[in-house]
């Protein structure tokens, strides 16, 4: 972040914090000069400053590479509204200012911030004698009602959330060919060698440039111009330039040029949609550049190039020699413009056909791979294989990299608090994989703003006004990255957060890249919805409905897989436990209370096992544990720990507390057996010995 950007950011925040100080000064000034000229002049400051920040806010919103700063506008807008209420009787009588202000504060901020802000605003309005009697009661009542309604609406909004109606647009939809042309640095062919929308676009643009070159070559001979050019509005976000290429007489080389929007011939052709012609000494005022050939023209002509009634670009002709143009110059240029417009339309149709074909290819490929995710078993934690979700993330990142030609792709998942997030998946030249498990504060980064507002942003990385904040949190940044595309990803299920594309090249991303990436994330959401359905079905098939632990079948399958993986080279323990006198509990207190006891014991087992261990319900009041990498002594200690934890549980029934105990049997591989059936039989024999020896104890096989 540049020093200038830091200074701009500090200035804006300082300006926002200065609003309360201004209100305090206004109150003191009113006490000293009631109705005086200095006081009346001071009243105008608040609305003027608020108007300034309002204009700045809307100008920033029009730019793709700038995030509007709302806080100064909010602070000074509130200050101006409070001034108007306190000193303009007709407005004060309506009560609209405190009602809207207090409701807006409660909607914008959580109660921990909005309530103090409402109280401070209420106190100021009550302290300044206004045009309504009993001002303090009036504003306080308004603060209570409007603030309470705002808090209630905010909570309802947070619970409900925005509804997303699935895939809102067709995956293959028409987009405009982007002009002028960009240099990808790879001659339009991606590193993988496969045809993509990007390479198709660049190929059609090269074909279009060849057609325009031929038109300019003919136009130079027809008009006798020294220089002819085709220029179109720059596609760079926030740009005010027209870019294109120039052909000079006697030179076979086409060179790139750029002209500002304020250049009169361009403005006449694009804004007023009419030809421009200037001949003689007056043409010197319209020289397109300051030095070199063409800087002192004797004639300048420009005509708009139309396609379906839309101005696509401008044909520009500049004559250095004295004397008249070869007549008729404007009709000749309009004819050339007609053919250029026709070429643009033809290339767009060809590119649209390419896009439909390619979009169908990658779309069907993604859908096929998302469906194949269902055939893969979701690996157990610590198994080293990718989970189903990670398979979807990996395919999404790879498709974005291939179709958008990004250097690095990040899937940033939002936490419970939109101000926090984590990198769910990252793809870069160094490799791919998930980020850290925990969420990190997004701070005032642009990716956090995009997630909160649902607004995409494109940062070209070119020279211009500095950004007031970083695109990514500091720990996620990479040196050398200049261009960024940050796209919000929203949905009721699946994934909520943002997709970030980064590239070291300037002006790498355009709006059509955002459309491609958005379509890919929609397919990703379909894949994640499929994964969630599979997870739900798998959970129902493998989970005991009463206790939430693994059922017998799922536990035995997991045990078989782990024993095969260990292959007798490393120890592990199998523990069987049985709740003592459970039949008496059911007979004495009823089966509902017995179910509560089962759930309580299962909760202790489920929360107490380590990562890599497993707990399951074997049947009735009997449970089973798998202790990974545990020898005989560690397995015994683990069983003893669970026995003590179960003894400490208290179940309330009819005004009194009931305690339960459990008996344990332990068998360890490979010392007591290597197979599933052998270990379970030995653990069951040890459990039987615990029962015979008085219950509430741990016995290790062979006892």
Please report the DSSP string for 20-53 in residue order.
Answer: HHHHHHHHHHHHHSTT-HHHHHHHTHHHHHHHHH
CA distance 702 to 665: 10
DSSP bridge pairs for 408:
502
| Torsion on CA atoms 345, 350, 352, 353, rounded to nearest 10 | 150
The active-site residue out of 376, 477, 621, 633 is 621
CA distance 629 to 642: 17
Q: How many CA atoms lie within 13 A of 658 on its CB side?
A: 19
**658's tokens:** 């009931």
Q: What is the 3-state secondary structure (H, E, C) of 332-360?
A: HHHHHHHHHHHHHHHHHHHHHHHHHHHHH
CA distance 113 to 634: 51
- DSSP H or E stretch at residue 566: helix 552-566
- Tally of residues, the chain: 703
Q: 619: left (phi > 0), else alpha (psi -120 to 50), else beta?
A: left
621 is catalytic: yes
Among candidates 415, 361, 369, which has minimal Cα distance to 393? 369
**Cβ-based neighbours of 473, under 8 Å, separated by 6 or more:** 440, 441, 442, 443, 445, 447, 448
Q: If 0-12 CB within 10 Å is exposed, 13-18 middle and 19+ buried, where does residue 271 land?
A: exposed
- Evaluate whether 564 touches 669 at the Cβ level (below 8 Å): no
Q: What is the 3-state secondary structure (H, E, C) of 131-200?
A: CCCCHHHHHHHHHHHHHHHHHHHHHHHHHHCCCCCCCCCCCCCCCCCCCCCCCCCCCCCCCCCCCCHHHH
DSSP bridge pairs for 487:
499
CA distance 108 to 469: 21
Please tell me what DSSP assigns to residue 436.
-
**Cβ-based neighbours of 340, under 8 Å, separated by 6 or more:** 211, 212, 215, 230, 305, 312, 313, 315
Q: If 0-12 CB within 10 Å is exposed, 13-18 middle and 19+ buried, where does residue 55 land?
A: exposed
Q: 665: left (phi > 0), else alpha (psi -120 to 50), else beta?
A: beta
CA distance 184 to 355: 18
* Peptide bond before residue 34 is cis, with ω within 30 degrees of 0: no
Tokens 């209370």, residue?
Answer: 593
Continuous H helices in 109-134: 111-127
CA distance 444 to 433: 26
Instruction: Give the catalytic positions in this structure.
Output: 621
């Amino acid at each position: 972040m540049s020093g200038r950007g830091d200074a701009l950011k500090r200035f804006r925040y300082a300006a926002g914090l200065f609003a309360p100080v201004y209100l305090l000064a206004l109150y003191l000034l009113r006490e000293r000069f009631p109705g005086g000229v200095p006081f009346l002049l001071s009243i105008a400051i608040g609305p003027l400053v608020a108007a300034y920040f309002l204009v700045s806010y809307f100008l920033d919103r029009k730019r793709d590479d700038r995030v509007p700063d709302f806080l100064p506008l909010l602070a000074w807008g509130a200050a101006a509204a409070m001034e108007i209420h306190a000193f303009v009787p007709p407005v004060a009588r309506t009560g609209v200012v405190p009602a809207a202000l207090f409701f807006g504060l409660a909607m914008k901020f959580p109660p921990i911030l909005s309530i103090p802000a409402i109280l401070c605003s209420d106190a100021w309005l009550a302290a300044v004698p206004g045009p309504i009697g009993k001002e303090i009661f009036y504003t306080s009542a308004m603060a209570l009602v409007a603030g309470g309604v705002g808090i209630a609406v905010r909570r309802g909004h947070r619970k409900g959330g925005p509804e997303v109606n699935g895939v809102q647009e067709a995956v293959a939809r028409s987009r405009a060919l982007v002009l002028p042309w960009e240099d990808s640095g790879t001659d339009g062919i991606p590193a993988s060698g496969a045809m993509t929308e990007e390479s198709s676009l660049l190929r059609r643009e090269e074909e279009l440039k060849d057609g325009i070159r031929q038109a300019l070559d003919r136009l130079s001979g027809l008009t006798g111009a020294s220089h002819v050019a085709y220029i179109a509005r720059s596609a760079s976000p926030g740009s005010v330039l027209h870019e294109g290429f120039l052909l000079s007489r006697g030179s076979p080389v086409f060179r790139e040029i750029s002209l500002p929007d304020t250049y009169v011939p361009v403005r006449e052709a694009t804004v007023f949609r009419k030809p421009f012609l200037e001949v003689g000494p007056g043409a010197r005022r319209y020289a397109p550049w300051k030095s070199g050939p063409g800087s002192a023209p004797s004639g300048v002509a420009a005509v708009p190039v139309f396609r379906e009634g839309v101005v696509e670009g401008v044909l520009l002709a500049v004559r250095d020699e004295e004397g008249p143009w070869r007549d008729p110059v404007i009709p000749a240029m309009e004819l050339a413009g007609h053919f250029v417009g026709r070429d643009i339309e033809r290339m767009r149709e060809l590119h649209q056909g390419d896009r439909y074909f390619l979009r169908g290819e990658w779309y069907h490929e993604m859908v096929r791979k998302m469906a194949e995710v269902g055939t893969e078993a979701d690996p157990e934690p610590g198994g080293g294989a990718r989970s189903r979700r990670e398979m979807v993330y990996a395919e999404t990142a790879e498709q974005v990299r291939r179709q958008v030609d990004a250097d690095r792709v990040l899937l940033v998942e939002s936490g419970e608090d939109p101000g926090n997030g984590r990198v769910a998946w990252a793809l870069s030249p160094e490799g791919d994989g998930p980020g850290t498990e925990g969420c990190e504060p997004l701070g005032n980064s642009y990716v956090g703003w995009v997630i909160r507002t649902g607004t995409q942003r494109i940062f070209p990385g070119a020279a211009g006004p500095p950004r007031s904040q970083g695109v990514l949190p500091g720990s996620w940044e990479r040196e050398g990255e200049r261009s960024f595309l940050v796209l919000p990803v929203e949905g009721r299920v699946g994934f909520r957060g943002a997709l970030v594309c980064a590239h070291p090249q300037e002006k790498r991303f355009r709006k059509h890249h955002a459309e491609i990436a958005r379509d890919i994330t929609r397919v990703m959401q379909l894949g994640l919805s499929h994964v969630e359905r599979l997870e739900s079905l798998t959970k129902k098939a493998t989970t005991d409905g009463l206790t939430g632990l693994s059922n017998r079948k799922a536990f035995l399958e997991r045990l078989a897989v782990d024993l095969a993986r260990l292959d007798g080279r490393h120890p592990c323990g199998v523990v069987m436990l049985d709740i003592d006198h459970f039949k008496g509990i059911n007979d004495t207190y009823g089966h509902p209370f017995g179910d509560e006891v089962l759930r309580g014991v299962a909760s202790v087992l489920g929360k107490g096992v380590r990562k890599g261990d497993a707990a399951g319900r074997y049947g009735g009041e009997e449970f089973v544990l798998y202790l990974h990498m545990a020898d005989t002594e560690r397995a015994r200690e683990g069983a003893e720990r669970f026995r003590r934890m179960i003894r400490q549980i208290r179940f309330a029934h009819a005004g009194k507390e009931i305690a339960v105990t459990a008996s344990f049997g332990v068998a360890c591989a490979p010392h007591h057996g290597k197979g599933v059936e052998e270990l379970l039989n030995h653990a069951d024999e040890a459990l039987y010995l615990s029962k015979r020896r008085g219950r509430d104890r741990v016995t290790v096989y062979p006892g």
